[in-house]
Structure 1
Amino acid sequence: MVARPRSQQEPERWPEPGALGLSHSVKAAPAPERAGLASRLVAAKLLSAVVDARTSLDGLLDPKGGHPGYRALEGRDQALVRAILLSALRHRGTIERLITERLERPLPEGARGLVHCLHVGAAQVLYLDVPDSAAVDLAVAAAESDPRNRRFKGLVNALLRRLAREKADARPNPGENLAPWLRARLLAAYGEAVTDAIAAAHLTPPPIDLTVKSDPEGWARQLGGHVLPGGTVRLASLEMAVSALPGFGEGQWLVQDAAAALPARLFGDVRGCRVADLCAAPGGKTAQLAQAGALVTALDQNANRMKRLQENLARLKLSAQTVLSDAAAFQPDELFDAVLVDAPCSSTGTIRRHPDVSFTKDAAEVDKLAVVQRRLLDAAARLVRPGGRIVFSNCSIDPTEGEAMVEAFLRERPDFRLDPVERHELPGLEWAIDAQGRLRTLPSMLPNPEDPRLSGLDGFFAARLVRQG
């Protein structure tokens, strides 16, 4: 769409309800106090923050430091805002197409608030258990509450009512919901079939996975879940907060995706071994290593994240030495038997859980993070003793942050070699080990045709290295 100077715009010619074959009647109360309006206005603001300002959704929804408008809402309205945003981001490409197909001409170039208002309304109409009439009427009220969008309230009414009427005929194309930059990189790495399968997996909200200290079968029975290969307990959905589940307060398990639980297992028997976890917070892998009997030194350079790690360890009744430090500056008294580098990354493997990643990251960010990861891998090489192991991992599905990273490291560091993961080490998960003995999971893996809610896992990469000498 070509932008037009403001002086050349002709707002009176923009589509109105009649142009879409619908009634001109608009039922909306302009008062902000209208029930449900505040949550829709907040949802539109936060959608703008994610898409336009590339702000992390987790940060916006944080109960303590999140967006003030969100924190001011009642708990039920906060849950609705979260559901709207997850659906609007997860299905953004489809929503955009369905809206565009029902417009006679594109919306004004600068009408970002109107676009977000329409997406919030469409997400409810198409994907949430919200009455169509309420979703449409509150979208109209939201448009009317904004002086910049008030003249488009009839368009909002008409378009969303038509979308509600025709939604049964809407045929989504999963690939259209991948951000263009991400789709291009996945196509180059995996080809069209795998890329489309990943995109389809992103559309199903993820299950809840628990790493339990012991007796996974018993916890699966008690919590109404089932046990995955590797011992993860998977729950389809919850009727209560995770913290209210049996075993949480007693520290019997932690929430951790099935794929995220794998890298720590690649060290094998760590009883009595000195293990450094260089990017430890929030502490899931530190907890796994401590539970397995390792003497863990957990590093993180962020004080708030370190505090969360310490709280998690306390709940789990596990102990580790915690060090607030950048890994590159850390000087231990002696080298470690093993070092885990679960490096910060683009998080493209977690889009099922965090659909904002498609819009808050880009190709330049991937390349920038790869530099950080290499610095951390070099730090790990400095900290591990001869004969010791490094496990390098992250939750990216971009080979730049995984396979290519390790290959470049090994080319430049002849004092290290790849220690291939053997198939017998991950029974039931052999398909996650590639021909070179590296771990690679994708969101499209671990299907469950009988209950799609129980399918998939985060995209993860991990490789095991040994320092020679």
Structure 2
Amino acid sequence: MTDPVGTATRRAALKMLDAVMRRGEALDRAQHAATQGLRNPADRAHAVVLAAEVLRHLPDLDALIDSATRQRIPDDAKSRMVLRLALVQCLALGTPPHAAIATALPLVDGGPKRLVHGVFGTLMRSEPELPAPPALPDDVTARWADQWGEAMVEAARGAIAQHPPIDLTLRDASNTGRMVDALGGVSLGAGNVRLSDPGNITTLPGFDEGAWWVQDLSASLPAKLLGAGEGRTVLDLCAAPGGKTMQLAAAGWDVTGVDISAKRLERLEANLARTGLPAHLVQGDIEKWQPQAPADAVLLDAPCSATGIFRRHPDVLYRIGPRQIAELADLQARLLDRAADWVKPGGLLLYATCSLERAEGEDRIADFLARHSDFARVPVSADELCAGFTPNMEGDVRILPGPLAEQGGADGFFIARLRKLTI
């Protein structure tokens, strides 16, 4: 018997969800293997959307499923995941119930189809709705409330409820007004254009000319806080895919971008070619690599939990926990120690992570400064930031969910700017 049209797409989504929930893989990484059998790019894209929507609403989907069963279906049971997938299609994406269940039942593969069909039918007859905004996983709610308070958790729920806009960073900030008009967007600061629904970005004005690149507003701040390069040297560590490298080159820095991934450096090289911006690229593990000489500035956008980009990548809510955060914090401490040796006396060290965890931000810098008396903060001032962002009392930048919510929000980030003292 032939499966209904669309079943293969749902099967690919199921494989992605299994990779995230069982094996802790990133959704982006799981996508390639899961969609190999889908020839149509639209089907591959739809499979990713389905998986992401399940993750965006997972606690609320589970609450619905549990309300319709006498005995709780195990968390790792395929029947639960198939029900999540069928329900999210109807309740979040507007798929007719008959189409959702028709493409769901083949996914059970000889398992409890009657259970899946019965639970789905019971729920659909009750005309359920998903809560707005969605709930976050209990462990994430507790962790963030402990660090930042209940208001932050509510703001995070509001953030994940909205599909985020796309920010573009302009190669030439003086063209902001013209590019806003050409692209039909808005600007949240010099050199930024925000688009709500850009479609295929490669067809937008300025793409072929390299006038801009995609980069969230928060992610554009670290390079800006180093200022104009005026020919000075900067190391951009963990550089790929290259948004900060291109910003630094456009600001007049002599940039060396270092990254461990050859494949990601190829993407950076292509972006540099498209924008016409110069940079030296090096493939290397910065726990082993050494520069030939210290630099005037070092930008370390360190590997992190990426919990700050949860609204774009809801899989981080299920892949990342205290163990992963602790391991990454240890790595960040080691990388900061190495980067410190590569800064000239009087030069700047810029540390950044797209994380909402104190262990990867405030705690890392406090620990670093306690061990490195030859470094001191260079506090960030409010006029260096976009409207809506403010530095904290120490002069670091901590971006939490909430600011710019009416304009589409921004990714979570931590940034600290330090100077190596001339002793």
Amino acid at match of 1:361: I
**1:367-382 superposed matches below 5 A:** 367-382=326-341
The match for 2:107 is 142
Instruction: Classify 1:167/1:324 alpha carbon distance in 2 versus 1 (closer, same or farther; 3 Å).
Output: same
Amino acid at match of 2:350: V
Amino acid at match of 2:179: W
Cα offset for 1:170?
A: 4.4
Does the aligned pair in 2 maintain the 1:94–1:172 contact within 8 Å? Answer: no
The match for 2:78 is 113
Give deviations 1:184-204, integer Å, cap 9, x for gaps. 221111011212211221121
The match for 2:97 is 132
Does the aligned pair in 1 maintain the 2:167–2:192 contact within 8 Å? Answer: yes
1:424 is aligned to 2:383:
yes
Cα offset for 1:167?
A: 4.2
Which residue of the other structure, out of 293, 298, 303, is the alignment partner of 2:252? 293
1:182 is aligned to 2:140:
yes
The match for 1:209 is 167
SS in 1 for 2:213: strand
**1:144-159 superposed matches below 5 A:** 146-147=109-110, 149=111, 152-159=112-119
Amino acid at match of 1:88: V
Decide which moves more: 282-291 or 312-321. 312-321
| Distance in 2 separating the partners of 1:170 and 1:437 | 40
Does the aligned pair in 2 maintain the 1:443–1:457 contact within 8 Å? Answer: yes
1:53 is aligned to 2:23:
yes
Give deviations 1:357-385, integer Å, cap 9, x for gaps. 11122110001001111111111110001
Which residue of the other structure, out of 352, 362, 376, is the alignment partner of 2:321? 362
Superposition TM-score, scaled by structure 1 size: 0.86
Give deviations 1:389-417, integer Å, cap 9, x for gaps. 01000100101000110011001111000
Instruction: Classify 1:363/1:244 alpha carbon distance in 2 versus 1 (closer, same or farther; 3 Å).
Output: same
| Distance in 2 separating the partners of 1:191 and 1:443 | 12
| Distance in 1 separating the partners of 2:344 and 2:237 | 15
| Distance in 1 separating the partners of 2:34 and 2:386 | 47
Does the aligned pair in 2 maintain the 1:230–1:428 contact within 8 Å? Answer: no
Instruction: Classify 1:75/1:331 alpha carbon distance in 2 versus 1 (closer, same or farther; 3 Å).
Output: closer
| Distance in 2 separating the partners of 1:281 and 1:71 | 29
Does the aligned pair in 2 maintain the 1:182–1:363 contact within 8 Å? Answer: no
1:122 is aligned to 2:87:
yes
Cα offset for 1:334?
A: 2.4
Which residue of the other structure, out of 235, 252, 277, is the alignment partner of 2:195? 235
- How many residues are matched? 420
Which structure has the larger Rg? 1
Amino acid at match of 1:462: I
Structure 1's unaligned 5+ residue stretches are 1-29, 449-453
Cα offset for 1:427?
A: 4.8
Structure 2's unaligned 5+ residue stretches are none
**1:367-446 superposed matches below 5 A:** 367-429=326-388, 431-446=389-404
Does the aligned pair in 2 maintain the 1:291–1:318 contact within 8 Å? Answer: yes
| Distance in 1 separating the partners of 2:235 and 2:12 | 42
Does the aligned pair in 1 maintain the 2:92–2:130 contact within 8 Å? Answer: no
The match for 2:70 is 104
| Distance in 1 separating the partners of 2:402 and 2:333 | 27
Amino acid at match of 2:220: A
1:91 is aligned to 2:57:
yes
Cα offset for 1:323?
A: 1.3
Cα offset for 1:217?
A: 2.1
Does the aligned pair in 1 maintain the 2:152–2:400 contact within 8 Å? Answer: no
Cα offset for 1:135?
A: 1.0
| Distance in 2 separating the partners of 1:73 and 1:427 | 42
Cα offset for 1:31?
A: 2.8
Amino acid at match of 2:186: H
Instruction: Classify 1:110/1:268 alpha carbon distance in 2 versus 1 (closer, same or farther; 3 Å).
Output: closer
Cα offset for 1:230?
A: 4.5
1:466 is aligned to 2:419:
yes
Does the aligned pair in 1 maintain the 2:16–2:34 contact within 8 Å? Answer: no
Cα offset for 1:70?
A: 4.1
| Distance in 1 separating the partners of 2:290 and 2:213 | 30
SS in 2 for 1:104: coil
Instruction: Classify 1:59/1:71 alpha carbon distance in 2 versus 1 (closer, same or farther; 3 Å).
Output: farther
Cα offset for 1:242?
A: 1.6
The match for 2:234 is 275
The match for 2:152 is 194
Amino acid at match of 1:237: D
Cα offset for 1:281?
A: 0.7
The match for 2:12 is 42
Does the aligned pair in 1 maintain the 2:169–2:213 contact within 8 Å? Answer: yes
Does the aligned pair in 1 maintain the 2:12–2:34 contact within 8 Å? Answer: no
**1:264-343 superposed matches below 5 A:** 264-343=223-302
Instruction: Classify 1:104/1:223 alpha carbon distance in 2 versus 1 (closer, same or farther; 3 Å).
Output: same
Superposition TM-score, scaled by structure 2 size: 0.95
| Distance in 2 separating the partners of 1:76 and 1:217 | 34
Give deviations 1:256-282, integer Å, cap 9, x for gaps. 000000010111221211011111111
Q: Percent of counterpart pairs with the same letter? A: 38
Amino acid at match of 2:71: R
SS in 2 for 1:137: helix
Does the aligned pair in 1 maintain the 2:188–2:386 contact within 8 Å? Answer: no
Amino acid at match of 2:99: A
Amino acid at match of 2:58: R
Cα offset for 1:205?
A: 1.2
Which residue of the other structure, out of 391, 410, 415, is the alignment partner of 1:457? 410
| Distance in 2 separating the partners of 1:405 and 1:244 | 41
Cα offset for 1:73?
A: 3.8
Cα offset for 1:99?
A: 1.1
